[in-house]
Every structure is written in structure tokens, then in C-alpha cells.
A and B are shown apart, each in its own frame.
Chain A
Amino acid sequence: MKQGDTHEKVMIEKVDRAMFVRYAGASGDFNPIHWSEDFAKSAGYPTVFAQGMFTAGVLGTFLTDWVGEENVRRFRTRFVGQVWPDEAITCKAEVTSVGEGSAEVKLLVTNEKGEKKIDGDATVIL
């Protein structure tokens, strides 16, 4: 792994609201804003949207698939925009620096239009 290395993958081609329901059950985040159409609308949103930690988890899978799950030490995400049903989740990574035994990786999640959903970074060991 060297500075400037990049990796990109479409992790989910079409987000399905069932994914939010499955993640709610698996993660214990039962906030109805992620699965109840009525609740989401009453809160001023057009429809339900993904748990931030769901998308972060998908990004985590992308990262561990690439660098190996045994090598991730730190993982930071900033929730920039909501992920809506029917969008794609595309993950991108770029190695920004390589140090003594570890590297810093910049991370990005976008939809199919390139709209930013999450940006973040991680520390991985080499």
C-alpha cells in the first residue's frame, strides 16, 4: 500500500428500505424515522432514510474487504447527507499517507449521481 492508492466499489446498487428494517433489528437502532413512512414525513423528511451507522457499516465492510478486517484500528465518519431508498451506495478510498507500520486512508460514500453521503478516514496497519 502506498500513498495515492485508490479503491472504489459499488457496495449496494439499489438501496431497499428492507435494509433499514434489517439493520434496525440487527443493531438495536429502532428509531422509526428509518422505517415508518408516516413518522419520517411528520418529521419533515420526504421518506425514510438509512441509519447513519448502516451506511457507515457498509463503508466499514468496503474497507475491511480491501485492507483485511484484522488491520483497521480507527474509523471516523461524518454523516453529510441522508441515504434514501433506491439510491446506490458507492464507496471510495484513497491512501493519503503511509507511516511507520500504518497508513491513513480517506473514505467517501456517494450515490450514483456522485452526491456525497459520508466522508471519513481510517487508520489501518500494514
Chain B
Amino acid sequence: MTQTASRTLAERLQEFVGKPYGGPTVARDPVNEPMIRHLTDALGDRNPVYTDESFAKRSVHGGIVAPATSLQVWTMQGLVPRRSDGEDPQSRLMSMVDAEGYVGVVATNCEQIYHRYLRPGDLLTVSSEVESVTGPKTTGLGEGYFITTLQTYRDQSGEVVGEMRFRILKFKPSTPKPKKSDIPPPPRDSAFFWEGVEAGELRIQRCSSCGTLRHPPRPLCWKCRSKEWDFIVASGRGEVYSFVVHHRPEVPGRTHPFAVALVSLAEGTRIVGNVIDVDPSDVRIGMGVELVFADNERGRTLPQWRPAR
């Protein structure tokens, strides 16, 4: 990332400041006692004013209220987020920073102001605007931008019942080296393949009934449906059938960009693998490649490909 590009992004982000960010969005459900009970259970809050009608009646509230810190809960989208056309300000801002590699996100600050307590039956509407965008800044997590939004919550009569200032950090993840122990053991169907890799062989599954090769390993022949199979050891010669050059999102531990190809094996089936020992921009369809066993960023040996010598 050059200074110029950072400045340009910072400038572009300023265009969002002071403008609507999201909403107005009406809560899916009114404030209700079952969710209040779930919340107080989850928080371990045993104040009976949230759950005991007769106690709450005698309190200053005159009835059950929701915990103040539940302000932002009622307008959450739920497990299945609403579909977006990608053109709303939030989607545009997020894709703008994501595109520059600031793919990490963490909440850093939350300030809530309560105008009144929420009661069962209140139907909230939230609208938000971008208050400020600052950055790029160096943080413990990596370089990033702080995005502060101001949410205003209104009830069914339009009265403002609360406000929330929420700040997130969108950051470029620093790249921790994944541990070798993170690698899962191979499933039964592909154990022969990984044992081959350890032995320095590229083993390709072959149907014992019709002789058709297949990769990646799977239990059934796609051609004759036989479950019987053995394997051949590939010669390691092939050519690039298709490829991509990966720039973003950044993959922890890897150097970018890198090329990933679909390689046609001389024996007849295809396999996906990294193309290494070459400038990614020099990879071409039809290029001859040869097998090389090389460690990936996790220290795992993988069959990879380099230009044929």
C-alpha cells in the first residue's frame, strides 16, 4: 500500500461523514418479555424490575422495563441478515475499505444515551449516520481506520428513546503464522493421497471397474458409479488448464499475489495447485508445468507446480 493510495482512500471515506449510514430500519419485533428474560438470563442480571410484573408495578417504572443496555438489541437483523443490493452506504463503505485490504473488524467503543426505559410493546426504529472516519492509524491489530457511527432509536410515536455511538476498527490483519497443529487429519477417503504426498508421490484415484481417473478423492466413480478403486502415481507432468492470480483478500502467512492453477495431468485428470517459482503475471494457459513438493505457509507439504524445465 503506497502513501498515495492510503490518502486517496482516507479522502474517499470522508465523503461518508455526516451522511446516513443505515436505516431507518424497523425492529423485527416489539420489545417483549421473552427476549427480556433471555437477555437478563444471558447477562446474569436478577433485578426483578425486568421480569416480575408485580414487583415492577410497585417500582418507579410502574411496570416491566427492558435493561437499558439492551438498546441496540431490538433492531438487530437476526441470524439471516437482510439482503442488500450492495448500494447502501454501509455496504459501499465496507467494500471500499475491504478492497484496500482492511478486512479485519473489531468493535472498539460503545456509548449509549438513554432518554427513557423501553417497555414491552415499544416498536423501535433505528437510523444511523457516519459521525467520523479517522485513519489510517497504526494499532496493535494492524493499520486501520476507525469508523464511528451514531444510531438514533425512535419509538412507534417517533420519540427518540436512546442514542448509541458505536466505533469499529477496520484493520489490515497482521499475518500470524498458523501452527502446523492446526492442520486437520485427512478424512478416510483421501488418506492414500496424503500418504502419497509424504512418500513424494502424486497419487491419483482410479476406478477399478472402468479405469477412469478422478481427483479430488471421493468414494464413487462419477462415470460407472463403482465403489471399487485403486490409484496410480502420476508422472508429475502437466499443463495449465486455467488459473487465477490471487491479490485479495489477503491470506495470513502468504505473499501476495500468488497464482493458483487448474493443472491438466499428462495422465488425464485435473488437479488444483499453486504455481510457484514464477512471477504470477507470467503464468499462461497451456503452459507446461512440473510437479514439485513444497511446504505451504502452514508448514504443510503440498503438491505444487512450477514451469516445466
Contact = CB atoms under 8 A, between A and B. Distances in A.
B67 A57 contact: yes
Given A57-B67, A75-B69, A23 B43 contact: yes
Interface of A: 11-12, 19, 22-23, 25-30, 41, 43-44, 52-54, 56-58, 60-61, 64-65, 69-70, 72-79
6 contacts: A54-B42, A65-B47, A69-B47, A69-B49, A69-B50, A75-B114
Interface residues of B, number: 41
B252 A73 contact: no
A56 B42 CA distance: 12
Contact of B76 (A29, A60, A61, A72): A29
Nearest to A44: B176
Nearest to B112: A75
Max count, chain B CB within 10 A of own CB: residue among A28, A78, A79: A28
Given A44-B252, A53-B107, A79-B106, 10 more contacts: A22-B41, A29-B76, A52-B110, A57-B67, A58-B44, A61-B47, A69-B49, A69-B67, A69-B117, A75-B111
Interface string B240-261: 0000000000001000000000
Contacts of B108: 78-79
Interface string B7-49: 0000000000000000000000000000100110111110101
B104 A57 contact: no
Contacts of B43: 23, 54, 57-58, 60-61
B69 A60 contact: yes
Contact of B110 (A26, A44, A56, A73): A56
A113 to B, nearest CB: 18
Given A28-B76, A41-B182, A69-B67, A77 B109 contact: yes
Which 8 pairs of residues, A with B, have the shortest CB-CB distance? Answer: A28-B76, A60-B69, A26-B38, A76-B111, A61-B45, A22-B42, A26-B42, A23-B42
